């Protein structure tokens, strides 16, 4: 794979990923007159939970549901410059123009005025956009295995590079798909967040893995994976190196975890064979998801990776996909119990979810 680093008009990095010999040399210039990006993010720690919350008021002006012919993620056309200066591309990654976290955020005060128990820190990190294809009308599920493998390689590249940034403690690649999820740009794309802290969800998973290992001497996800592969009740798809199953305590009306058979901390640690097999297994999962209700499924799909600098031995890479769609025309809303207490109530069982996905025919 060929990797080409360029810069946009306001100085942001853009990286093209191309199959060797399949694309021209990337030399196009960004001709737009863009103001310099001036993010002013900060993070504040909740004094009651200890969790960090990002504040990014400058994002209020970000692009919102543009018409397809003005999509900022499509290749540049004559008279219609976009975020991608080239006239075509395969996979491309660039710094978000409206980032929640950024590397050049100025210093801030150390605590909220009058509240010394609420620490404040600069929202230093990195937010990137990943475009999976130049085709505006295509979805991830419609990509070829070869293209998915390129996306995996791009995720691995960015995970490794962002992990070397001093301010970043965790790297989170993810895709939001569908207006029901809150997507405002319909071009097939995902994002990567480089957080300046370890996220609350990951902290909880690490605590659980640590306690389980202390009691049983093994990794909890490894034991779950072995049990799921043996029982097969919740398995949706599998390959030589990966198994996709509905988690036994699924929160969402559609939820699937795609887990490698070998414990690795992050995407960069995957072998070539594991990357190829993931592409095949994940595409089967996505195509079953789209066949479930006979319409494109809105979803969030995100990679759970180990923190950058600690507890690497407790991490077990996996991808988790979930959807708010509980019927073709009905959404699951996060009501009082879920939003207020983080206690989930699912309207179906994991076994029923898995059976419906297995029965769905792309």
pLDDT tens digits for the chain (362 residues)? 999 999 999 999 999 999 987 788 999 999 999 988 777 889 999 999 999 999 887 665 555 567 767 899 999 999 999 999 999 999 999 999 989 999 888 888 799 889 999 999 999 999 999 999 999 999 999 999 999 999 999 999 999 999 999 999 999 999 999 989 888 888 999 999 999 999 999 999 999 999 999 999 999 999 999 999 999 999 999 999 999 999 999 999 999 999 999 999 999 999 999 999 999 999 999 999 999 999 999 999 999 999 999 999 999 999 999 999 999 998 998 889 999 999 999 999 999 999 999 999 88
Among residues 36, 35, 28, the alpha carbon closest in space to that of 78 is found at 28
**What's the confidence (pLDDT) of residue 35?**
87
End-to-end CA distance of the chain: 30
Q: Which residue is listed with tokens 């043996």?
A: 230
**What's the confidence (pLDDT) of residue 68?**
67
Given 58, 186, 189, 318, the catalytic residue? 189
Angle separating helix axes 145-163 and 272-292, nearest 10 degrees: 120
CB count in 10 Å sphere of residue 24 = 10
**241 annotated as belonging to a binding site for a ligand:** no
φ/ψ of 141, rounded to 5, equals -65, -20
As a whole number of angstroms, the distance between CA 329 and CA 15 comes to: 39
**What's the confidence (pLDDT) of residue 32?**
95
Does the active-site annotation cover 189?
yes
φ/ψ of 350, rounded to 5, equals -55, -35
**71 annotated as belonging to a binding site for a ligand:** yes
The third-level CATH classification (topology) of the domain covering 201-359 is HIT family, subunit A (3.30.428)
**136 annotated as belonging to a binding site for a ligand:** yes
Task: Give the DSSP H/E element, type plus range, for residue 243.
Answer: strand 242-245
Distance of CA 234 to the CA centre of its chain: 23
> How does DSSP classify residue 196?
S
**318 annotated as belonging to a binding site for a ligand:** no
**Residue ranges, CATH 3.30.428.10, the chain:** 2-198, 201-359
**What's the confidence (pLDDT) of residue 323?**
96
- Cβ–Cβ under 8 Å, residues 58 and 35: no
Looking at 3.20.20.450, 3.40.50.11540, 3.30.428.10, 3.30.70.270, the CATH number of the domain 2-198 comes to 3.30.428.10
As a whole number of angstroms, the distance between CA 114 and CA 299 comes to: 41
CB count in 10 Å sphere of residue 325 = 23
Task: Give the DSSP H/E element, type plus range, for residue 234.
Answer: none
* CA angle (75 as vertex; 69, 81 as ends), nearest 5: 70
């Amino acid at each position: 794979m060929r990797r080409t680093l360029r810069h946009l008009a306001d100085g942001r990095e853009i990286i093209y990923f191309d199959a060797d010999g399949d694309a021209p040399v990337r030399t196009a210039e960004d001709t737009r007159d863009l103001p310099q990006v001036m993010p002013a993010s900060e993070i504040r720690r909740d004094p009651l939970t200890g969790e960090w919350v990002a504040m990014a008021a400058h994002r209020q002006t970000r692009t919102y549901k543009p018409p397809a012919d003005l999509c900022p993620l499509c290749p540049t056309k004559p008279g219609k410059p976009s975020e991608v200066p080239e006239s075509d591309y395969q996979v491309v990654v660039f710094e978000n123009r409206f980032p929640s976290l950024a590397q050049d955020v100025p210093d801030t005060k150390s605590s909220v005025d009058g509240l010394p128990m609420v620490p404040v820190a600069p929202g230093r990190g990195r937010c990137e956009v990943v475009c999976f294809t130049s085709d505006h009308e295509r979805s991830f599920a419609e990509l070829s295995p070869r293209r998915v493998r390129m996306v995996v390689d791009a995720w691995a590249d960015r995970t490794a590079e962002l992990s070397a940034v001093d301010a970043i403690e965790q790297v989170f690649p993810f895709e939001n798909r569908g207006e029901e999820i809150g997507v405002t740009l319909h071009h097939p794309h995902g994002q990567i967040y480089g957080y300046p802290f370890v996220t609350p969800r990951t902290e909880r998973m690490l605590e659980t893995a640590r306690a389980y290992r202390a009691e049983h001497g093994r990794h909890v996800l490894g034991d779950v994976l072995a049990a799921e592969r043996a029982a097969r009740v919740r398995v949706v798809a599998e390959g030589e190196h990966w198994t996709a199953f509905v988690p036994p305590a699924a929160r969402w009306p559609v939820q699937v975890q795609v887990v490698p058979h070998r414990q690795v901390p992050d995407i960069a640690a995957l072998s070539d064979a594991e990357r190829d097999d993931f592409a095949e297994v994940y595409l089967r999962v996505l195509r079953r998801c789209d066949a479930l209700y006979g319409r494109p499924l809105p979803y969030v799909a995100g990679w759970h990776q180990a923190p950058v600098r600690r507890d690497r031995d407790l991490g077990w890479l996996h991808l988790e996909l979930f959807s708010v769609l509980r019927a073709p025309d009905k959404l699951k809303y996060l009501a009082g119990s879920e939003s207020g207490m983080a206690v989930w109530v699912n309207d179906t069982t994991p076994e029923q979810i898995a059976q419906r996905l297995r029965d769905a025919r792309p």
